[in-house]
Homo-oligomer: A and B are copies of this chain.
Amino acid sequence: MNTQNITITLSETKKEKPQSDQLEFGQVFTDHMFMMDYTEELGWHDPRIVPYQPITLDPASMIFHYGQSVFEGLKAYLTEDERILLFRPEKNFQRLNKSNDRLCIPEIDEELALTALKQLIETDREWIPTAEGTSLYIRPFVISTEPYLGVAPSGSYKFIMILSPVGSYYKEGIHPVKIAVETQFVRAVNGGTGTAKTGGNYASSLKAQEVSGKMGYSQVLWLDGVEKKYIEEVGSMNVFFKINGEIITPALNGSILQGVTRTSIIELLKYWNIPVTERRISMEEVRQAHKNGTLEEAFGTGTAAVISPIGEFFWQDEKLLINEGKTGELSKKLYDTLTGIQRGKLEDPLDWVVEVTKASSLSTVR
């Protein structure tokens, strides 16, 4: 695929940009978007940057019926010296293709996708917010577009990337969340779609969230779908524990999403020579550790909040308060290091950060 073929059509009007310090998550979108089409005849073709615009689809399009879709989520950051940084974007496009494979969606050229993303960001660079803790959220996604009411892989698709300036996840600094352990509903099982980032996983999670939300818990911790004993992950975060000095995260067992933040934390801990164990961990083990005072910290990890300290678990009518509901030392250190690297404030010892420069643009503006 010749990446020089990405065409750019600039928007004639520019939308008003929101105040950098008043941003919500995922509600405002920039002036442009990237789009590319797939047909059986032409494969993926016509990569283009166009004004942000609605998508028009036949009501029989498969996305409306059989949920064949995948997505990704990553962020671009503006440094103090006005460089634009991405955090391991190649990992997101690798995972996109892993999701594509599970959902029978044709593979996307990862290099083309990254080049296109850089050009899109360059085109809308004025939209990257500057206030402390803000960033530009990036949403690549693929939808199935063939108008056909049969359960089969679609013959046509659209790959789209849209950008949204987002506020700081923690308006008043990093602080712990309360999480309900889900005992009725199940997110995924081995053999299902848990390792893929596909819409159905999130649709099925809404009910559990609604129920626990009513009880004052913003997110749920999923247990395994077979025995409802072993810890999997939080709504859109992986999860780590520090028990008696050991740092533990559930092993990738075939139903957990492999988070880029999770991978990076494991690599960072190894780089620091701090042992980290990927293994099966039950909720009962966490309860026992809490009981005997060895549950030192728990935190979620994901693109949105980076590190989300967990101050309390609610499980089977019991409240497990962790570290007196305060942010733990390790959580804080990981948060500061990761966000420091992502925003170009700290050295990048593991070569994670990718800069977006004008030079990465080689496209035709028409």
Contacts from A to B (Cβ < 8 Å): 25-27, 29, 33, 52-60, 63-69, 71, 102-104, 137, 139, 141, 143, 147-153, 160, 162, 164, 184-193, 198-207, 209-210, 225-226, 228, 235-236
Cβ of A344 to closest chain B Cβ, rounded Å: 25
Cβ of A42 to closest chain B Cβ, rounded Å: 21
- Interface pair A203/B210, CB less than 8 Å apart: no
Residue of A191, A205, A209 contacting most chain B CB atoms (<10 Å): A191
- Interface pair B54/A64, CB less than 8 Å apart: no
Q: How many copies does the complex hold?
A: 2
Partner pick for A26 among B63, B150, B187, CB 8 A cutoff: B150
Please report the C-alpha to C-alpha distance between residue A190 and residue B192 in the assembled complex, in whole angstroms.
Answer: 13
- Interface pair B104/A202, CB less than 8 Å apart: no
- Interface pair A33/B54, CB less than 8 Å apart: no
- Interface pair A204/B210, CB less than 8 Å apart: no
Nearest B residue (CB) for A191: B186
- Interface pair A65/B139, CB less than 8 Å apart: yes
Cβ of A269 to closest chain B Cβ, rounded Å: 28
Query: Which residues of B have CB within 8 Å of A64?
Result: 55, 63, 69, 141, 143, 160, 199
Please report the C-alpha to C-alpha distance between residue A202 and residue B200 in the assembled complex, in whole angstroms.
Answer: 9
Given contact pairs A137-B149, A200-B193, A236-B151, A206 touches B162 in the complex (Cβ within 8 A): no
